[in-house]
Structure 1
Amino acid sequence: MTLLLLTAAIISGKAQQNIQFSQYVFNGLAVNPAYAGYKQDWYLNSIYRHQWAGFPGAPRTGGISIDGLTNAPESKVGIGLQAMFDRLGPQESLSLYASYAYRIPLDDEDTRRLCLGIGAGVSQYAIDGAALQYVDNDDQAIPTGKTSTWVPDARFGVYYYSSRFYAGVSVMDLFSLYSDATRYSWKGNNYAAIRKTQHMYLTTGTALTLSPNLILKPSLMIKEDFKGPTSVDLNAFLLIDEKIWIGGSYRTNMKLWNKENLSRDLTPANAASIMLEYYVNEKLRIGYAYDLNVNKMAGTQGGSHEISIGLLFPSKKYSLTNPRYF
């Protein structure tokens, strides 16, 4: 079968789900603009995800981000920049966002802060007709090549952290519910389903010392788009000798309240992940995650692979007295 079925599934929905990374705990800027500057040194992060390996038209996602303080260590302002691409069958999106976070100290030792963040950017949404195979070569509803549109967007977040705990809430794609649907039309056919819908993220986690060489870091993320099932990620990492992170994640789809479009027999199980993060030195981190679907798609694809690299640029004027576990 061709990619036609995949496209039909996408277009029949009201909007596209936001990008989901398994290693989001090492890429906080991707889910909350208030995270900008958290590490207090400049931090460069790159990530690539190949989802549902072996499945025709499977999602491929990649991105790069950088964030830090404007004038460490006295500055209360964190800034960040993030570029992301996402491809799913014949549809593509490319986005660029800038983030600003105002970081309010809550104690004299500077171990606790409340951060307020905003982000602004643009996204390009595209449909590539050349990626489709179809029966009628003269079908006027399908673009002969690639058609695209650019739309502005914004995001907002709040982030609190101490040396051993964090909690955050953010709303992404704020303008998605209000953008003009005619932007996504092609010869009278509407492709508004390719745009990402508004999402809210709730994140929290802590670091528990088990021994001088072992630290346990459990965390939770709830992702809500107000239309589809609520995504809940339960994560746990074990940090060994400040060098190796070994962890796992279990993702579920939940029906927390009545939603008209959800089936009554919704399967809660979604995916399970195993993750490994290795700190080559204090500056360089390399990570890998493998996701295995535990829902009805389990036998149709070969799982998902995700690779990430983080690079810290320590300031000559400042060194961290508290380790950054988040």
Structure 2
Amino acid sequence: MQNGSQEDGFNLPSAAVMRPLGAEAIIVQVLISVFLYVDLLMVFTFFRKEVFHGVTRYIFFAHVLLCDCTFLVLSDVLLLLSYMRIVMPTSLCILLCAVAYNLNVATPLTLTAMSVERYVSICMPLRHAELSTPQRAAHGILLIQALASVLMLVVLASVTAVMPLAFYLSRRICSTEMLQVRRWQTNLINGVSQVYFLLMALTICFCYVRIMKVARTASGNDRSATNKGRRTVILHGLQLLLSLIQLWCPFVENAVLQIDLYMFVYWRYFDYVTFILAPRCLVPLVYGLRDETFMAALKHYALFGCRTNNKLAPVKKERVLVTRT
């Protein structure tokens, strides 16, 4: 299998001349820099304040931020290397792509777990203290990583089944298409992704339908509380929808690739900005900036401790409303 074959995803030879960054790549770098700054600031805030360490939703939130930061850095590196036509050892590319597959699935899985935690908090308040503990949150994160690794293992197993030894010793332009040279590989990966999509979508829909029913009943005539709860659910739903749609992106991209290479490149750019960067922008908006306690701590560190009160209000326990998230 020669280096100029179609398995590199862009049909470019390994000795392709490096090209400078274009406007699209520069825009992506600016967006990623902003998102990384906000996410890393929130991660720093979480680890600096012990009050967040014992609350399940903050633990899951920190896990999402860590996964997002790692994925943004990794995907950006692969994007730049591919855009500039820089080759790397194929074995290293496979390892990086495998980690990217894992992180890409871990975020929506964690968001689904956060939805279940909100469901328990609001619809089962008497059992919330028993079920929502730091130890159970840690076990939940291990389970999330195990489930996220299923797709990664499927990809690695399919590559091992079809690629000769010489493939792992070659140098190529790194892309996920390089790992899918047979149609059955693409169909298998898409099938596993659709199973993820279906299970998470059903779980999320169930949780939020029940939450909205309880919120509407509990709020009564308090229209302000009801509207705030509805806005929160809408933001959660939008972010989770974008995160789940990204599981469909490879399926659409592979179809576009069969039609036109240049259309595929632009479509992948659109998917990356809309369904990968955008959800990772909504994470801090939904779970960080709208939380009064977390926002107070975030302001303190964002302003380097100037003109902010270092004393945090205690984390409020939710009873039956979704007005605190």
- Using structure 1 for the length normalisation, give the TM-score: 0.22
**Greater Rg over alpha carbons, structure:** 2
Structure with greater proportional strand content? 1
Q: Say which structure is richer in helix.
A: 2
Q: RCO higher in 1 or 2 (8 Å CA, sep ≥ 6)?
A: 2
Q: TM-score, normalised by structure 2?
A: 0.22
